[in-house]
Each structure stands twice: as structure tokens, then as C-alpha cells.
Structure 1
């Protein structure tokens, strides 16, 4: 099977989407499938759209090029569109429109969380077949080797990390926690480290700040803490919580977006700052039971890529029937819109 993925992986810290591409490329090649990142070849079996934004530097082709390829060169190729973003995530009304426009050329859609499928945009525009394959992280890098759980004495050390710096990554909570850890009555009870990029003009006053890390260095930093915090709002299904959990850290997570799908059973949830301190206290009281449960955290890259390979293999077997019912010009205006760069 030859798979063309419309985004190349970057080396270094570049967010969870980049890690997905790297993991899938590796798994495909290990299974003796071919991976390319263009539409030059006429014998492509599967085209995978990961990011529709053709102006992004590592995106190699968009939906318009896919439509032309299917029409003029290889109508038997099968198109899969992976959805891992939404307007609700950024608080700005432009991402869903781009995703829907690109999804016009898709034969199947894969979401990284069930929550995404419930959004109004996909209730209006989603076509079958569609699937959910949740993200997973690499246990070869993110593992509990060397992790030392909280003893119950001294401050519990919380950590989070984000490549993106949008305020909805959870900076309302991180800002309030930064103020909390600076209070004398809390200094001996909780500590907080933030790893990653910050919104413009934002600075921590009391929390420990570390610039973006990746790979083994990031994993070592995570393992030097006791619990992982994510306050992300409307999270489509990130990898950051997976990386923390696989390093052995029980989770303190915001009940928002896909986070309950990924974190339930492996931590304590909160809805906002009003519920944060009670959730933190519950995390401390339940810590030892949660720490014992963390080795069974299921969201690994191995599981994710296994599901992806099984799905792609099954879809390729059905591609002739699906391609036979494909109507690329079913909506001429929508087809024309794919030719406008995003």
C-alpha cells in the first residue's frame, strides 16, 4: 500500500500533530508500506489529509490538488481526512470552514475524539463513513522509568506542557495557579512547572518556567514531577496529557473537549478555577490509588498506529466500491472552492 500524507514531520518540538505524523510514517514503513508526501505518483492507494492549510510550511498539498489528482490521474485512490481541530478550540470562526471545505474530497473521515463529532458543524456536514481513532504517545520515549511518585509529604509538584500558546490552552487556570503557589500558605503544599511557549506578554511570577522541550529531555522533565495538569479548553484530543500519563503522572484535567475521553479513570477532573482546589485536594487524597493505575493508561502510539493501519487496510479493500459511488462534482461550487488556497 502506498500512502501519501500531505504533511511532513518536523524534527524537534512541534506539537502533537507532528508526533502523530512521525509515528504513523514509522509504523507504515515498518509494515513495509510506502510513504510519500506528494501527488506525483500515479499508483497512490491512500491519500491522507492531516492539515488542509496549504500555506503552512510543512503542508505539501491541499484538497484542491487531491480533487485534480482523482479527476485527472488516479480515480482509484482513497482519500482519508483526519480531523483534530475546530473553531471552538481557538475561539475564532475560521477553522471549521477550512475543514469542511477540505472534507469535500474525503471518502472517509477520522476524528481524534468522539467530542468533535458532536459539534454543530459536523452534525450538519458529516458524511459516512467516519471513525474515531484517539491519539497516542510513544512509550519508548514517554515512560515511567525513573519516575518517583509523590510520597504524601511536601509539595505535590504539578507540570504541564504545550507547544501552542493560545490562551485557551488553559492560561486562565495557569495564571491563577501561578498566583496561588506564591502565597505563603500554599508554598509547602503545591509547586507548578510550565514547559512550552507562552502567549505574547505573558510571564509567570511564581511558577517555574521551562522553554519548549522534546523527546527524551521532555520526558525526563515530566518524570521529575508528581502529577500532570491540563487546563486546556475545548481540547480536540491533544497528546500532552498522554505524554504525562505515560510517564506515570496521575492527571488533573479540565472537564472540557475530548479530555474526559482520554483521562477518565486516570485522574481527577475540574470545570474551572472554582473547582480546581477541591479537585487538587481530591488528587492528593486519591494519589496512591491513581499512581498504581497509571501503567494501564491505554493511549499509546502503538495502539494508535495499530488502529490506523487496520483502518487504512480495510478501507483500501473497499476502495473500488467507494470510488465507484464517488461524485466529485456533486456540488460544483464546493468543488470549485477546493481550488482556492487555504
Structure 2
């Protein structure tokens, strides 16, 4: 069926009417910080979880936070990658307040194909940003190598919500039972490492290991148990019941899944790619080929307590303070 010729025009007019209504309503709203991001309902990826944790910390400090609106009292705007309504931001923006662009990627490297999203994101940065937050030094360097000159760049790594992802009451490690391996991923993109998980499914000694994969996996394993995407609380429980985390994702700028596992007290074995080494530090080992993993598992199991003691800390409160500094705001609101 052919569309009515004026349908698109009417839709655009309706959108603009909505933007105008939001701008008028802004005169009566009172908020301090605006976050432009389209949140997805759980279960969802770690990026949504990080931003929810950031919002909670800001609000607990007394900051008034709004989503996808800008009020007359708004002092700073944080807009996330390309996951927001850019036209709405254009209509509602107020000149003279900090506009902070949070970026990851490059997506062409992460996804394994270039559909123009990185260039579109750079355009948004040039159009709106007064400063840019990258989630890892790897991400910043890769963008710069592609020719992108971001506004006032700085690196602030993510952190997991400590109310959910923590190491309290985790099951103790023991060599007297099977070693429990775990991986998580919400995407079935092949760059998430399905070939590595397939190799492990075929070659690990299953008299010594059991393995749970939480999320979406584009293969049908015989030995790895696959759990469907779950709530953060369920994921955290499964992580705390496991011993070693494995991730084989390629060119992942700042893996929230890895941060969540480390925060639950799991040493990790990671593909030497993307931002993994920055996050892992001494809390595990990296590999370049799947064939290296069995020996690394043996090494981590043998010195488990040492690896666990070297797991880095990801402090959402410290990260929140860094975000506020990027917005030119104090750690807590004045006179409130």
C-alpha cells in the first residue's frame, strides 16, 4: 500500500510540536543535570546499567537529574554516543552550559563493519560537544587514529553498580570440585568471540570444568550451558557462584561485562584486544589464541588467591566525581 504523500511531513510537524512543548515546559522544571540517552528495559547491556548506576549516585548526592529534557536550571548535559534524539537535543539545548559527549567504539572495529555510525557520531561531537569522555585509552587512541579530533577529550572508565555487582557472600574457590567458568554477552555478533567459545566447547577437559554462558551465543554448544539474557541481579548471582570469567570479545572498548565479573571477585581470562588489558591489569591473564586458554586456566587456578587479590577496584563514587568534574560541577550541590 502506498503511503499518503503528506504522512512524513505530518510526522515531522508532530515531532517539532513535541519539541516546542518540551521547551515551553522547561521554564517550570527545575533540574541540574540532563542525560540524553534512550534507556532500554532490562535485561539489557552493561552500558544502560552503568548509566543507571551513575544517575543513582548523582541523585544520592542531591543532584536533580532529568532524562532527554533540558530545564531552565540545567547546569550540564551528558549525551551518550549516538543513542539519543539529536534533533530533540538541538531544539532544547541552552548555550553556555557544558555539553559532555560520552563515547565508546570505534564501532567499525567493534562490530566488524563500517555502516557510517562512527562518522555520524563524530558529527554529533562537532555539533554539540564542549568536552568528550572516552571509556578507555584504547577507544580514544583508535578514534584519533581514524582522524577524529574530539572536543576536550578525557578518559573515564566505567564502574558497575556496587549494590548489585559485589563479591560479598560469593562461593569460595576449591580445587576439590569442578572449576566453574562463566562468560556473558547480550549480543550474538561474531566479534563477541563465538569462535573461541566453540573451540573451548570442543577442547576443554570437562572432567575438570563446568561452563555457563549467560546471554546470546550464535552456536549450539554441547558442553557449555547457555542461560538466556537475565536481569542484572540474576547475572550477579551467577557470577558469584562461578570461579573464573572468560571473555573473547574483539575490539571491545570498555567491557561492562568484564567490569561486572571483576567486581564480583572473579579473576578473568581475556582476549588481548581492545580495552581488556586496561581493565584487567593484574586480575587475570590475556590470550591471543584459544589454544592458550587451557594453560592459562591452570595457572589462574593454581594461584587463585593471588590473582583474586590483584583484581582492580572500579569505584562508581569515584567515577561519578570524575563525571561531575568533566561537567564543571562540584562533587555535591552547593547550598542544598
TM-score (normalised: structure 1):
0.80
Residue matched to 1:91: 112
Could you tell me whether the CA contact under 8 Å between 2:136 and 2:156 is conserved in 1?
Answer: yes
1:154-303 matched pairs, under 5 angstroms: 154-181=177-204, 186-199=205-218, 202-294=219-311, 297-303=312-318
Q: Once the 2 structures are TM-superposed, how far is the Cα of residue 8 of structure 1 from its aligned partner?
A: 4.4
214 and 303 in structure 1: CA distance in 2 versus 1, 3 angstrom threshold: farther
Equivalent pairs, count: 298
Higher relative contact order (CA 8 A, sep 6+): 1
Residue matched to 1:28: 58
Residue matched to 1:50: 80
Stretches of structure 2 that go unaligned for 5 or more consecutive residues are 1-30, 332-336
**Aligned-residue CA RMSD (Å):** 2.2
TM-score (normalised: structure 2):
0.82
Q: Once the 2 structures are TM-superposed, how far is the Cα of residue 127 of structure 1 from its aligned partner?
A: 3.4
Residue matched to 2:47: 17
219 and 275 in structure 1: CA distance in 2 versus 1, 3 angstrom threshold: same
C-alpha distance in 1 between matches for 2:41 and 2:277: 30
C-alpha distance in 1 between matches for 2:46 and 2:223: 27
C-alpha distance in 1 between matches for 2:217 and 2:326: 37
C-alpha distance in 1 between matches for 2:32 and 2:134: 22
Residue matched to 2:124: 102
Aligned residue for 1:138, secondary structure, equals coil
With 306-315 and 149-158 compared, the bigger mean Cα shift is at 306-315
173 and 220 in structure 1: CA distance in 2 versus 1, 3 angstrom threshold: same
Q: Once the 2 structures are TM-superposed, how far is the Cα of residue 243 of structure 1 from its aligned partner?
A: 1.2
Stretches of structure 1 that go unaligned for 5 or more consecutive residues are 54-58, 317-342
**Counterpart among 94, 107, 112 of residue 135 in structure 2:** 112
Could you tell me whether the CA contact under 8 Å between 1:156 and 1:226 is conserved in 2?
Answer: yes
Q: Once the 2 structures are TM-superposed, how far is the Cα of residue 65 of structure 1 from its aligned partner?
A: 3.9
With 155-164 and 103-112 compared, the bigger mean Cα shift is at 155-164
